[in-house]
Amino acid sequence: MKDRDGVIVIGAGGHAKVAAAALEARGTEIIGFFDKNPALKGQLILGREIRLQEEVEPVLADYEAILAIGENRVRQHLADEMKPAGWHSAIHPTAWVHESARIGKGVLICAGAIVQPDAEIGDHAIINTGAIVEHDCKVGAFAHLAPSSCLGGDVQVEEGCFLGLGAKVIPGTRLGAWSIVGAGAAVIRNVASGAKVGGVPARPL
C-alpha cells in the first residue's frame, strides 16, 4: 500500500517525456526519472535530474510507478522484476476514453488518443499519441500502438504486439502475440504470433 503521493517514472528516454507529459497534465507529481543507463545519470529530462534505477529501490514500495519505456519486451521484464506500491495508469486529459472501456494497470494513453466503448486495454500497454482503439477491441498486455495507428472495431491485439506509426487494421482482425506491424501498413487479414508484416495490404516481411 502506498503511503505517499506521486509517481515514479522508470525510464528516461523520449517515451519517458511523453509519459511525464500525461502525468503533468493530470496534475500528478513526478517523484523522479530512474534509468539503468549510467551515461544518463545527472542529465535533465523536463527539468528533473535523471537518477540510476538502483537508487529507487529503497523507496519503490512507497510509491506507484509507471514503466515509461517503449520497448515491449523491456516493459514485460521490468514488470516482473520490480515491485512498487502499485502500477500507475496515466491517461492524458486530451485523450477520450469511454466509461465502458476497461483499462489495466500501468497503462499509458497519450494525448489525442481515442478508446471507444467496451474496448479493453491490458496491463502496461501503450496507446500512443492520436492512436484509435475502436469499439470492442482487446489490446493485450505489453502491446504498443504507435502514434496515429488505428484499430477498427473488434480487433484482437495479443500480448506484446507492436503496431507501427500510422498502421491501420480492419475490423475483426487478430494480431498475434509479439507480432510487429510496420509503419503505414494496412492489415486486412490475421497476423500470426511472432510475425512481421508491412505494406499495403500488409504482407510478411
Is 135 a known active-site residue? yes
Alpha-carbon gap, residue 58 to 91, rounded angstroms? 27
Alpha-carbon gap, residue 119 to 11, rounded angstroms? 27
The sheet that has 196-198: what strands, in order across it? 90-91, 108-109, 126-127, 144-145, 162-163, 180-181, 196-198, 203-204
- The active-site residue, picked from 92, 124, 135, 144, is 135
Strands 96-97 and 114-115: parallel
CA dihedral 64, 70, 73, 74 (to 10 degrees): -50
Cell numbers 517525456 correspond to what residue? Answer: 17
Which residues belong to the active site? 135
